[in-house]
């Protein structure tokens, strides 16, 4: 996976005419809520559609075919700025209006996208200062997308202007139901700009945050390498400077960039609330572990979260190592993270893979059944609707290889019939199920501060937060008892166990929240590097694990990055089992009040895993970077102790999730493999889609999905 620090653009530095500062740090957007009680919203089982790229003579046929296929809606126009505003201030929505009218005539509702992810050439020619500057200090060229600055006032003004004109033109147009602001703010490698406007915005944001330079100098530790700032205007952005940047500054810069993007979206949101009070407003994101922004901030005032789901990417990027379970897991973590952004509220799949997918190379052809499985998996994890990307397949442009429901020659794609059947089955499942709540017995911390701080200073050249998160998620989610991806300052009391891999940064508020959770009977399981840093990215001035020493009942004798030596882990007590291996890191634990559950077998001394009874609960410290099999075994044993054990007996390739509305429960059984699998059932169930009853055992065909209700 590319990180933004590995991503380098090319181009000449270009610092254009001065843009004005914006008070975007104030976060002063009104708390705005939308009109979208679910009863007012139609089902959202549609496609992403590009009338802007399709001859008008085909629009009627498109709408008719969509309607015949049972689709309910489209998303349009998110990349159509150059058609909607062919020159500055000259707007043309007549074509879009004709398209919306045709769609509406055929009963297809419309979600409009505001087009700020890709400005037209006239704009960047006239205002080159809007271009993003990348982490190498090079100005990014126009011609792709997501190449503009989130802080630049000119770009904000022009983006808001086109969005406002759109809103005015479509606020009362029959068939229009909602909005997507921009497109994928959070796509990992493009989520940062380092231009002079961002620098000015960062200086102002820092002033708001720290109030005095003394306080900022202290929190960032600027005495180191002679960095004491005596004027706010001296504060730099973390561009190459022949030495690593100040870690406190860089972590704050990540937070500022997140804030700049959220407030960019916020400007359009405030306008849309005013112009279109009856429409819902959302934006689309990509889910863990790829998101580069703080999604809680981005989605705070939006009506619901939208996610883009391309499981085929996993197969492309993990070529050779990929298993069906891993493809399934990589989408599951994304869904779980997106659902958790708004406390479990149902989310929308704004883009769902509909065939071979790829941008200059084709990814693998989904096997028969996989497209259905992946869409149902999203629903199984809390989605309320699915829009397939895309209706037709582009014959030009950078995504000619991204297959839609229609082939290049407009014949039906290999997945067409399967998709249509899936949509029909989702409709039959009904709104109550699609809007029900996901059942999660456990939670995993997904903390952007830890992710960012670890990118800045990994501590070990191979240590990455996404890889650790994924390993832990794999083990926790494998229990099939449902997992939310939360922040540790949220309400933890509803979970039987809370897991926190590399919780490197711990705030005082989080520590207190964890302390109360464990005291009241919860199980908290932390990985190595726990509490090493405070929120300013300073190492804590106390023995590790810092603020959580009392809860964990241990102190660290030392911490050890591991390179070529072999370090074994011997398990004891309730974890007794085959010896494990410690990978990249070993925290050497000295129990204070805790009991030892595993020790290092050398060359280092100390406990590797401990458990502490604290109040009515338990706190487990996994100090070793355990190999996958051992981690999974340990986590499953801890889950059983915490009373989180699935009633369903499943092979590895089968995933079980549950959704609930009042007394009703839907159990989703998903076979991610291309072989038949058997699931043991705790009683008699009705298999909703197969329309039959099943007892004791459920047989799933390759890639089959079953939805069960207790009979
Ligand atoms: C993303 C974007 C779409 C399209 C698809 C496929 O999710 O939002 O515009 O590019 O990927 O590449
Ligand atoms: Zn910028």
Q: Is residue 339 within 8 Å of 297, Cβ to Cβ? A: no
DSSP secondary structure letter of residue 563: S
Residues 6+ apart with CB under 8 A from 455: 3, 5, 464, 465
Ligand whose nearest atom lies closest to the CA of 308: 1
pLDDT for res 157: 98
Which residues have a beta carbon within 5 Å of ligand 2, which is an ion?
Answer: 149, 151, 193, 195, 197-198
Indicate if the pLDDT at residue 314 is higher than 90: no
60-76 residue pLDDT tens: 999 999 999 999 999 99
352 close to ligand 1 (CB < 6 Angstrom): no
DSSP state of 546: G
| CA 504 to centroid of ligand 2, rounded, Å | 28
Would you say residue 10 has pLDDT above 60? no
In this prediction the pTM is 0.94
Q: State the Cα angle at 109 between 108 and 115, rounded to 5°.
A: 120
Ligand 1 atom showing the smallest separation from residue 399 Cα: 12
The ligand 1 atom nearest the CA atom of 183: 8
Instruction: Please tell me the number of the ligand nearest to residue 358's CA.
Output: 1
616-665 confidence digits (pLDDT tens): 999 999 999 999 999 999 999 999 999 999 999 999 999 999 999 999 99
How far apart are alpha carbons 486 and 471 in whole angstroms? 16
What is the whole-number distance in angstroms between the Cα of residue 148 and the centre of ligand 2?
Answer: 7
CA of 597 relative to ligand 2 center, distance in Å: 50
CB of 183 within 6 A of ligand 1: the answer is yes
pLDDT digits over 221-239, tens only?
999 999 999 999 999 999 9
114-141: average pLDDT: 97
Q: Ligand 1: distance of its center to the CA of 361 in Å?
A: 14
Minimum-distance ligand 1 atom for the alpha carbon of 284:
8
Q: Residue with the nearest Cα to atom 7 of ligand 1?
A: 308
Mean pLDDT computed over every residue of the chain: 93
Cβ neighbours for 703, distance < 8 A, ≥ 6 positions apart: 367, 368, 369, 370, 372, 373, 671, 672, 673, 674
Give the nearest ligand 1 atom to 359 CA. Answer: 12
CB distance 78 to ligand 1 below 6 Å: no
Ligand nearest to the CA of 193: 2
Contacts of 409 (CB under 8 A, 6+ apart): none
419 Rama sector, left if φ>0, alpha if ψ -120 to 50, beta otherwise: alpha
């Amino acid at each position: 996976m590319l990180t933004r620090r590995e991503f380098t653009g090319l181009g000449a530095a270009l610092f254009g005419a001065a843009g004005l500062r914006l008070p975007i740090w104030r976060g002063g957007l009104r708390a705005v809520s939308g009109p979208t009680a679910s009863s007012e919203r139609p089902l959202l089982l549609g496609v992403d559609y590009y009338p802007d790229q399709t001859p008008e003579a085909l629009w009627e046929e498109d709408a008719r075919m969509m309607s015949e296929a049972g689709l309910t809606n489209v998303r349009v126009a998110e990349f159509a700025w150059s058609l909607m505003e062919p020159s500055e201030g000259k707007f043309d929505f007549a074509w879009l209006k004709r398209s919306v009218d045709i769609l509406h005539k055929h009963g297809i509702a419309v979600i409009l996208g505001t087009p700020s992810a890709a400005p037209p050439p006239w704009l960047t020619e006239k205002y080159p200062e809007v271009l993003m500057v990348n982490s190498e200090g090079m100005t990014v060229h126009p011609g792709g997308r997501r190449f503009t600055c989130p802080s630049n006032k000119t770009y904000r003004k022009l983006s808001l202007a086109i969005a406002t004109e759109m809103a005015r033109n479509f606020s009362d147009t029959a068939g229009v139901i909602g909005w997507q602001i921009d497109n994928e703010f959070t796509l990992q490698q493009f989520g940062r700009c380092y231009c002079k406007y961002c620098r000015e915005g960062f200086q102002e944001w820092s002033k708001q945050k720290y109030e005095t330079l003394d306080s900022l100098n202290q929190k960032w530790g600027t005495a180191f390498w002679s960095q004491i700032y005596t004027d706010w205007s001296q504060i730099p952005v973390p561009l190459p400077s022949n030495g690593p940047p100040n870690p406190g500054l860089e972590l704050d810069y990540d937070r500022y960039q997140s804030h700049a993007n959220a407030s960019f979206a916020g400007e359009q949101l405030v306008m849309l609330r005013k112009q279109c009070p009856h429409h819902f407003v959302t934006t689309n994101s990509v889910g863990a572990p790829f998101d580069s922004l703080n999604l809680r901030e981005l989605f705070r005032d939006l009506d619901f979260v939208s996610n883009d789901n391309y499981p085929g990417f996993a197969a492309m990027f993990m070529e050779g190592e990929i298993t069906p379970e891993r493809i399934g897991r990589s989408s599951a973590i994304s869904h779980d993270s997106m659902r958790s952004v708004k406390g479990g509220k149902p989310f929308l799949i704004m883009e769902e893979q509909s065939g071979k997918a790829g941008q200059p190379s084709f990814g693998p052809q989904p096997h028969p059944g996989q497209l259905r499985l992946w869409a149902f998996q999203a629903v199984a994890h809390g989605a309320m609707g699915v829009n397939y990307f895309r209706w037709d397949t582009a014959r030009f442009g950078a995504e000619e290889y991204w297959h839609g429901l229609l082939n290049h020659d407009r014949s039906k794609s290999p997945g067409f019939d399967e998709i249509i059947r899936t949509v029909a089955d989702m409709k039959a499942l009904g709104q109550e199920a699609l809007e029900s709540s996901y059942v999660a017995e456990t939670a995993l911390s997904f903390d952007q501060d830890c992710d960012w701080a670890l990118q800045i200073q990994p501590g070990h050249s191979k240590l990455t937060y996404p890889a650790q998160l994924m390993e832990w998620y794999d083990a926790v989610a494998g229990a099939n008892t449902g997992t939310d991806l939360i922040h540790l300052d949220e309400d933890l009391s509803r979970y039987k166990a809370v897991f926190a891999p590399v919780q490197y940064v711990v705030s005082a508020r989080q520590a207190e929240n964890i302390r109360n959770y464990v005291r009241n009977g919860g199980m908290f399981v932390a990985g190595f590097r726990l509490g090493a840093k405070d929120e300013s990215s300073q190492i804590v001035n106390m023995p590790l694990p810092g603020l959580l020493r009392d809860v964990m009942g241990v102190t660290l004798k030392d911490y050890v990055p591991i390179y070529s030596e072999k370090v074994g882990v011997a398990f004891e007590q309730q974890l007794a089992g085959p010896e494990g291996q410690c990978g990249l890191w070993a925290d050497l634990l000295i129990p204070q009040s805790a009991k030892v559950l595993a020790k290092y077998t050398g060359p280092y001394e100390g406990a590797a895993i401990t458990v502490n009874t604290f109040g009515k609960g338990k706190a487990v410290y996994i100090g070793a970077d355990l190999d996958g099999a051992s981690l999974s075994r340990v986590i499953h044993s801890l889950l059983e102790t915490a009373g989180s054990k699935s009633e369903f007996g499943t092979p590895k390739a089968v995933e079980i999730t549950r959704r609930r509305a009042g007394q009703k429960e839907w159990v989703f059984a998903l076979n991610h493999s291309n072989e038949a699998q058997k699931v043991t059932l705790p009683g008699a169930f009705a298999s909703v889609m197969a329309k039959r009853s099943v007892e004791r055992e459920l047989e799933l065909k390759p890639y089959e999905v079953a939805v069960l209700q207790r009979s």
